[in-house]
Structure 1
Amino acid sequence: MRVPLVSWEKVCVPKCEGGLGIRNSYACNLAAICKLSWWIYTKPDSLWVQWVHHVYMKGVHWNDYTPKSDTSWSWKTIYRVRQKFDLAFSSSVQWLPGPHEYTSASGYNWIRNKQHVVNWEHTIWNSWSVPKHIFINLLIVREALLLKDRLFQLGVSPDADCFLCGTATESHVHLFSQCVYTRRLLHLLSCKLKISLPAVNLLGWISSKPWANVKKWVTIAWIHAVYYTIWNQRNSARLNGYVMCPNVAFKQVSSILNLR
C-alpha cells in the first residue's frame, strides 16, 4: 500500500489551514452522536430523554453517570462520546447553559484537528489555474513531494543529486528556486510578464503585491504552470532520461495557458 504524501489529519482541515476542506467522517460522527448528550442536558421533557433516565440513569445526573458493564454498546458509545466533549460542556461558554444551541457543525468544529492558518491559501486556490497545477503546487508549498533528498534518506535512491542539473542535492528549495533549469524558466517568465520575480517564495511575494485581481491571478496561474512544468520535466528525466529545453518547455506552458 502506498504511503500518502500528506497525512489524512492535514487533508481534513479547511483550506485556510492548508487542507483540502474535506470533512473528517470520524469527527463528524462524534459530533452527531454528541447531539444526543446535549439533549440529555437540555431537553428533560423529551420522550427519549425521559426513557433514558428511566432505563439507564435512574435519577443520576449525566455528569456523574457511569454505565454498567451489561448496558448496550450503543449507550456506551454515547457515554464515551460525552467524555470526549466534557471540556466543552463543562466550560459553559458554548452550549450549556448559554444561548447558543448545540449543532453538529459547532461540535465538529470544536473536536476536529485544528492547524495554524496559512498565508498561501488565496495564492493556491483559484479558478484561473489548471486544477492539476494547483494540486502539485499545494504539495510544493507543503514540501510533500518525494524528492531525492528524502528518498536517499529512506535508502530508496542511491544518491540525492538533482535530476535536472546534477550539481546539488534535490530538495524542494533547490528544485523550485535554485536549480539552473528552474532559474532559466523563471527568467523567461519574468520577461513574459515584464516583472522582476524574487528568487524564493514567489506565491507569498505575489500575495503582498497591491495588484489588480486580474493581474494577480494571471501571474499566479503562470507560476503554477511553470512549477508544474518543472516537476513534470524532473519526472521525465527520472523515467525517460529526457528533458525539454527550457525555451521549448516555456512555449508549452504558454500554449496551455492560452487555451485555459
Structure 2
Amino acid sequence: MQVKPPAYTSWYWRKVCQIRDTFDEALQQQLWSGHIGREYSIAKGYEWLREKGDKVQWSGLVWNKWSFPKHSFLVWIYQHGNLNTNAKLFSLGIREDDTCFLCGQDRETLEHLFFACRYSREVLGSTGSHLWNRIPQTNIMGLRLSRRGTKEEKGVINVVINASIYLIWQQRNSCRIDECVLRPSKLVKQLTQDMKIRFSSLIQGNGDGGDYVRKFMAGDECNS
C-alpha cells in the first residue's frame, strides 16, 4: 500500500514516505532476499537501501580513532572538494572576489589555501619540519602517502594533519566573518594544546604509539 503525502507537507516527510514505498515494493517482490535473508533488521535494511561505492584510499586516514570527529568531518568535506572557497563561490557567481582571505594575494583554491598561502605554510612549517618535509606537495593525500614510519607514527601524523586543516579553515572563516585572525604562532600553540588533550591517554601509556607521542609532545616533532 503506497502512501501519497499531500504536496504541502515537508520534504523530509515526503522522503520518508518514498523510502517506505521502496521497502514495501522490495518486500512484495522479494528484491532483498539475496542481501538480507529471512531475518530482517534495520542495519540489514539500511545496507540494502544505500548505494555502495568502492572504498576510497583515504578513508582510514580521515576516519580514525584518534582524530577529533569534527576534524575528520571537515577533512572528509575537503577530500570531496566541497569546501566553499572564494574561488568556488566566485565561479558560482556568489562572490565578486576570489582572493584568499588569509594572505590577500592569490585565488583562494583548496590547493592555495592549505599549501601555497603564506599563512598556512607558516603554520604547517612551525608544526615540525619532520612532519612537513614534503610541503611543496599540492594535496593532502600525497602528503600523507609520502610519509614513512610505523603504524603508530603515521596515526599521529594523520591526526596532526586533520587538526591543521580544521584550524586553518577555522581561521579563514574568522577572517571572513570577524575580520581577525590569530598569528600563526598562536595557532600552532592551540594545535599543540589540542593534540595534548587528544593524546593524553597515549602519553601515559606504553603501547599504541605512546613513546612516539611523548617524543612528539616534548617538542622533538613540534615547533622545531
Instruction: Give the TM bin, normalised by the shorter chain.
Output: 0.5 to 0.7
Distance 1:212 1:32 in 2: 50
Any unmatched runs of 5+ in structure 2?
1-15, 199-224
After superposition, the Cα gap between the structure-2 partners of 1:29 and 1:174, relative to the gap in structure 1 and judged at 3 Å, is: farther
Deviating 4+ runs (over 6 angstroms): none
After superposition, the Cα gap between the structure-2 partners of 1:25 and 1:117, relative to the gap in structure 1 and judged at 3 Å, is: farther
**Where does residue 175 of structure 2 map in the other structure?**
237
Question: Of 36, 55, 80, which aligns to 1:142?
Answer: 80
After superposition, the Cα gap between the structure-2 partners of 1:121 and 1:248, relative to the gap in structure 1 and judged at 3 Å, is: same
**Where does residue 196 of structure 1 map in the other structure?**
133
* Deviation by residue 1:174-227 (Cα, 9 ceiling, x = unmatched): 111211111111211233x45623423334442465532221111111111111
Q: Are 1:151 and 2:89 counterparts? A: yes
TM-score (norm 1): 0.59
Shift of 1:30: 2.5
Distance 1:28 1:170 in 2: 43
Q: Is the 8 A contact 1:35 1:102 kept in 2?
A: no
Larger radius of gyration: 1
TM-score (norm 2): 0.68
Distance 1:106 1:194 in 2: 42
Letter of the 1:30 counterpart:
T
Q: Is the 8 A contact 2:111 2:139 kept in 1?
A: no
**Where does residue 222 of structure 2 map in the other structure?**
none
The SS at the match of 1:249 is helix
Calculate the aligned-residue CA RMSD, in Å. Answer: 3.0
**Where does residue 28 of structure 2 map in the other structure?**
36
Aligned length: 180
Give the percent of matched residue pairs that are identical in Structure 1 and Structure 2: 31
After superposition, the Cα gap between the structure-2 partners of 1:250 and 1:209, relative to the gap in structure 1 and judged at 3 Å, is: closer
Any unmatched runs of 5+ in structure 1?
1-23, 39-84
Spell out the pairing of 1:68-87 with structure 2 (5 A cutoff).
none
Spell out the pairing of 1:8-157 with structure 2 (5 A cutoff).
30-31=22-23, 33-38=25-30, 94=34, 101=37, 109=47, 112-157=50-95
Letter of the 1:141 counterpart:
Q
Q: Is the 8 A contact 2:100 2:108 kept in 1?
A: yes
After superposition, the Cα gap between the structure-2 partners of 1:134 and 1:206, relative to the gap in structure 1 and judged at 3 Å, is: same
**Where does residue 222 of structure 1 map in the other structure?**
160
**Where does residue 11 of structure 1 map in the other structure?**
none
Q: Which moved more, 1:138-147 or 1:113-122?
A: 113-122
Q: Is the 8 A contact 2:123 2:188 kept in 1?
A: yes
Q: Is the 8 A contact 2:120 2:168 kept in 1?
A: yes
The SS at the match of 1:220 is helix
Shift of 1:36: 3.1
The SS at the match of 2:128 is helix
**Where does residue 103 of structure 2 map in the other structure?**
165
**Where does residue 191 of structure 2 map in the other structure?**
253
Letter of the 1:37 counterpart:
Q
